[in-house]
Structure 1
């Protein structure tokens, strides 16, 4: 007979007893044997490879032999810490056994071990099987951003970057616009091999466009990098408050970078440059016009976003002049004078009062104040009348009205008295427009208005003048038919007016001379050059 020996049988002397009952009496025989357990052991441990590259080797096997069946765990350790289990409290048979480990791709280089361990009689029995991890190359992989685009119109918005490095390395994460380094999200940090996440707070008002994280990893003198792009969106972006200005020689103008839709001054630091310093120089946004010609003034913010403004510099003529009306408030004439402005044209009135209306309704609200303050500051003053006449008789009435209100200021007026002829909605609504009456008839009408008006101004002892745009004057005023007069011509975005013999040129409506309060989107005045002495 054969006995199945229990595997947990303790060492010692044992016996088979063969027994039989004969005539009510036991007959037996004892056969002795000894149990002596062979000690439990784990042997013949080996790894399927002594060195692995996580980028290439996804599996690693460990083979070991047990002296008897047992419950075992197979662990993985680095030289300093537990990495994980390959098997945890699993039953293994006596003899040869094998387990396979899925190698993490982010495993750092170094010495590692399988530890096969079993608890026997309250005591751990183990065996260590060593192997080495050595990545063949330093690499950056698994890159992604938390969002593909981020809105910069709200303060505090963040974007996160995820990435993995194959080996322990010194890493930085840089931020770039399409052309310029912006700063660091992470700088010179030592990372073990593995996956990481960093975040960047997007500056409010950062200009729209393409931006990038640049991951830079360095190990053993070797540096690699990886670019990860994203978009910045939002309605805010910096720009110059104008794309074109005309300045007379020696005139200055402060340029500002502002934020679209809010018109508030952009607070980020910018650098300034001029494409032609001989024509116009710039320092801190202050442009100084030097010589006749064109220069491009460029502002670049710290993110690399650029905005450009074209500056045309025109001849200074003999005098600098501004023209003012109710639309220009809080003018300091002493400062205007000190800035080099020595002539001023003031709007005196518009249209004319009806028989039951007071003159004050049609007199410019700033006229009385400004003519007294301007002359007190030493500026020479002229006036203009904005026409709403619909026929020649009304042009006569406009001239009579102006002469009447100028009577008490006659000794203060040393510049011409101008008739302001330009398109307006009142004319258009009443059919006084080339599109309604034809160019020839409209020219005949405008010439007659000017002839009659200027004759009255001349007879009253003033120097008569016509104010009009260059296109209006050239198209609709018969200069020979209106009688002797000076010409005050408005023509922007050119280096000289296109009307021959202009005496005054209104070259810009964007003036910001000292003495004229300035805001980003308001407070500008008309700037003029005067070519003769009055």
Structure 2
């Protein structure tokens, strides 16, 4: 007769002792991994948590007329099918579209929104909603690239963007220390650069960056900044950046999606898409 482990009480007792000792020492034992929570993925969009935590300051945005500004939008599945022809007719010249979240969510509207923007003549790119609590930065960069975040040297595709902001599922910094968060972002951006030969854009707010990275300054020389701040002026930038490439200044408007200005004229947006420039 074939015997199993359950037939041997000594073996069961040893297994129990090992399990207790492992827990006492803080060592994880093998077992099914807890499923990541993506219940809010459809509503997690660039700035949704920044708006919730930081709010809106009254007044219209003010710009330096000498630099020129280029209007653009960012959208997600929340907007549904987008009329990009209307957006282009009203002055939009570029767009970012949510592609993925973590390593378990792909926006069901991504194809229509991403390709629709291109068909309407907009330069477009994809963004990834970061979930540092569910997997490594490199794993999420791979997932993003495989599901819409790849860069193409066609002159109409912007480099992928990492949306890193307050955690919609719990602790604002995803349970990470400032050093660990900085390392996670570096893990993502290194993998994206290695695979795409382009530096990812980093989308964030100054307040979140200070809170969760300790105002880390190691990204400004390589990764363009997409700043979220709903106020009349840009205000303070995160450490390491002396200018923003894109400013998301409003999450409201008559046109689809959030409102953004590229910090320069259209030829700067075109240069970023071609790979000939990384910032304004």
TM more than 0.5 = yes
Alignment match of 1:489 (pick from 215, 227, 248): 227
Cα distance, 1:319 vs. partner?
0.9
Instruction: Summarize the Cα distance change of 1:245–1:407 in structure 2 as closer, same or farther, 3 Å threshold.
Output: closer
Cα distance per residue 1:162-198 (max 9 Å; x no partner): xxxxxxxxxxxxxxxxxxxxxxxxxxxxxxxxxxxxx
Give structure 1 regions of 4+ aligned residues with deviation exceeding 4 angstroms: none
User: After superposition, where does 1:10-89 map in structure 2 within 5 Å?
Assistant: none
Cα distance, 1:380 vs. partner?
0.4
Q: Does 1:314 align with 2:52?
A: no
Alignment match of 2:249 (pick from 507, 516, 519): 507
User: After superposition, where does 1:84-483 map in structure 2 within 5 Å?
Assistant: 311-315=59-63, 317-353=68-104, 362-390=105-133, 394-406=136-148, 410=152, 414-428=157-171, 432-433=174-175, 441=177, 443-459=178-194, 460-475=196-211, 476=213, 477-480=215-218
Cα distance, 1:483 vs. partner?
6.2
> 2:162 aligns to what SS in structure 1?
strand
> 2:225 aligns to what SS in structure 1?
strand
- Structure with greater proportional helix content: 2
The higher relative CO (CA closer than 8 Å, separation ≥ 6) is in 2
TM-score by length of 1: 0.35
Q: How many Å separate the matches in 2 of 1:526 and 1:497?
A: 19
Cα distance, 1:502 vs. partner?
1.1
Gaps of 5+ in 1: 1-243, 247-309, 354-361, 517-524
Q: Is the 8 A contact 1:245 1:510 kept in 2?
A: no
> 2:197 aligns to what SS in structure 1?
coil
Q: How many Å separate the matches in 2 of 1:528 and 1:407?
A: 20
Q: How many Å separate the matches in 2 of 1:470 and 1:406?
A: 27
Cα distance, 1:508 vs. partner?
0.7
Cα distance, 1:410 vs. partner?
3.4
Q: How many Å separate the matches in 2 of 1:324 and 1:313?
A: 20
> 1:445 aligns to what SS in structure 2?
helix
Q: How many Å separate the matches in 2 of 1:326 and 1:369?
A: 10
Gaps of 5+ in 2: 1-54, 273-280
> 1:320 aligns to what SS in structure 2?
strand
Cα distance, 1:382 vs. partner?
1.3
> 2:144 aligns to what SS in structure 1?
helix
Q: How many Å separate the matches in 1 of 2:261 and 2:220?
A: 24
Cα distance, 1:334 vs. partner?
1.0
Q: How many Å separate the matches in 1 of 2:124 and 2:139?
A: 23
The aligned counterpart of 2:260 is 528
Q: Is the 8 A contact 1:418 1:466 kept in 2?
A: yes
- Which structure is larger by alpha-carbon Rg, 1 or 2? 1
Q: CA RMSD of the aligned region, Å?
A: 2.8
Cα distance, 1:396 vs. partner?
1.4
Cα distance per residue 1:15-36 (max 9 Å; x no partner): xxxxxxxxxxxxxxxxxxxxxx
Q: Is the 8 A contact 1:447 1:482 kept in 2?
A: no
Cα distance per residue 1:17-64 (max 9 Å; x no partner): xxxxxxxxxxxxxxxxxxxxxxxxxxxxxxxxxxxxxxxxxxxxxxxx
Q: How many Å separate the matches in 1 of 2:171 and 2:200?
A: 26
> Would you say how many aligned residue pairs link Structure 1 and Structure 2?
201
The aligned counterpart of 1:294 is none
Instruction: Summarize the Cα distance change of 1:504–1:464 in structure 2 as closer, same or farther, 3 Å threshold.
Output: same
TM-score by length of 2: 0.64
> 2:184 aligns to what SS in structure 1?
helix
Cα distance, 1:416 vs. partner?
2.5
Q: Is the 8 A contact 1:343 1:381 kept in 2?
A: yes
Cα distance, 1:473 vs. partner?
2.4
Q: How many Å separate the matches in 1 of 2:163 and 2:138?
A: 14
The aligned counterpart of 2:276 is none
